[in-house]
Structure 1
Amino acid sequence: MPGDLMEIPRLSSKACPIVDRSEGYQRPMSEVSETSAVTRLVPGLTILVLLIMIAAAVFHVVTLSPPQHPSFSRENAPAAPDFSNTTSWLLRPTGERLGGWERPWPIDLIWFPDQPDGYLGGWNTPIDWSALDGQLSSEPWLQTSERTSYVAFSPRRRHVSSLSGSDEDKSLAEALEREDVLRATDYYLETDHLMRGIFVGGRGSGLSAAIDVVEMRLADTAPYDRLLGGIIISPMQTEDLPEDMPPWPACAETASEYPCILDLRGISEADAVVQQIDQTSKVFSQWLDGNVTKPAAPLPPMETIEFSPVRRPGETDD
């Protein structure tokens, strides 16, 4: 009716139930979500993956890491070369050779090749390692028959190997290699030199060996200091020159100041290399003839005279 108050409907507790969230309330089981099977597996799978990763790391360290190399030991080093044997030389001329008492003054070249890579059987390579047989293949000019004024020698040596280890072990291996270089030089000077002019040379570690020979055997030792023509740098040299390279003049720019440096880098043709060394040897030979006292030629071998036994009349051999 007009004027009467509108009756407001009362909300039924059944239509909108009041949920009690007070302490002690427990969610009905229908409202609790169950944990899936995959979720329950996650912790276990995580632990399993971690164990696999740890096992893989241990396997890598134990089996795939480089092996520990033994310490250097002279007792375990390869046998030293016997330079009286031709097998201890890559190059050693045979036959009769003229000595420094002849004209023109003959010239020798002592050549030291670079060390090859790949040997892991010890700190020094044996001299009969197969890779050493081809050491001169990159220097074909050394074996050419077109040489006219010099003869080449090239001794084998126990190169430092490709092992990696302590600086002390490597230093001892380098010392062993240097011993072979100096022993080969001593044998040459005592047996094959014949007072001839000398050039030394090499490539890579061989160039360092040539410098050692100059410093320890030739430069300050008479009469070799007067017979030393200089150092020859290989045309195949790609590394920087050693820091202890002597400050000598270039051979191409001098005909009166020795020893000198003949740098063949940049010359690719073997014939051009031979020609350059040959020309340098001839100029040095002329300088020796004009500036160094000729050594005395060796005396001819003594002839043995056999005397027949003196027999008295009537004596016989019986």
Structure 2
Amino acid sequence: MPLIRESLYRSPSWLPGGHAQTIYPALFRRVPRVTRRAERLELPDGDFIDLEWAEQGNSRLAILSHGLEADLKTGYIQGMAAALVRRGWDVLAWNFRGCGDEPNRLLRMYHSGATEDLQAVVSHALGNHPAESIDLIGFSLGGNLTLKYLGENPTDLPPEVRRAVAFSVPCDLACSSRELATASNRIYMERFLVAMRAKIRAKDRLFPDEVDLTGLADIRTFQEFDDRYTAPIHGFKNAADYWEKNSCRQFLPHITLPTLLVNAANDPFLGPGCYPGEEAASSEFFHFESPATGGHVGFAAFGNGGEYWSETRALEFLGS
């Protein structure tokens, strides 16, 4: 019955509310770069994924997956990498297609359910690192990707994949999209859309006959963007079809490895469908924890050598 009913996390008193707890780490946290060895993974379809490693010859490897319109340099990735290295893990962080310094080669990009790319990264790690075990850690969109990967074909997972942790995951993509479309979340929505519009304009320069920019500047919600671009580019009928097929919540009951999901109750990105307590209560493997505070990919903590609570919690679970 791994529903964790009491979380020990408490946000600092001077960071009141989910918005402050989300914005402060995103704007002000500075973490030294831990992953330093860069590598490009060529994919069978002619595209590529950029990787970075932190290697000390350890027998445990953690693979880190970032969130929407982020990259492997972001603070929560490098903060987690630092915590892992301190405790004896090697680390592999990766940029989703189109999220690095160079645009990816194909019209397709990354999306919330592109588990074939995570599988390619895992397979590459198994073939090029001596790790005896691999742990997966995902944040937001990368958390949805991680949980979907674990639950969609659980009998096909490599035996070296042992545990997983995910933070701030939009388990129900339709629910999260509606939440982000509310007036109180306009600042986040517009920040995401600025970056996403730029990617579509870049695709238009590379594939002028396959991308229509008409009305792009007027798009104001994920539903409009996913209907117009994400869904047709990646083979889905529309936004609703894309969200339905790629929301990880439907895959959680099928997870067969020890897995922890942490979603703060005051996460401004998440609606009620993103808190899968029922699935955890009926699972032997899937653990769900919902601290009252923390915001979205926040979980700030001070006085612990710069380590955030999310990093401490992840390592506690992975080491148990």
Report the TM range for the smaller structure's normalisation.
Answer: 0.3 to 0.5
Q: Judging by fraction of residues, say which structure has more strand.
A: 2
State the TM-score, normalizing by the size of structure 1. 0.39
State the TM-score, normalizing by the size of structure 2. 0.39
Larger RCO (alpha carbons 8 Å, 6+ apart): 2
Between structure 1 and structure 2, the one with the greater Rg is: 1
Q: Judging by fraction of residues, say which structure has more helix.
A: 2
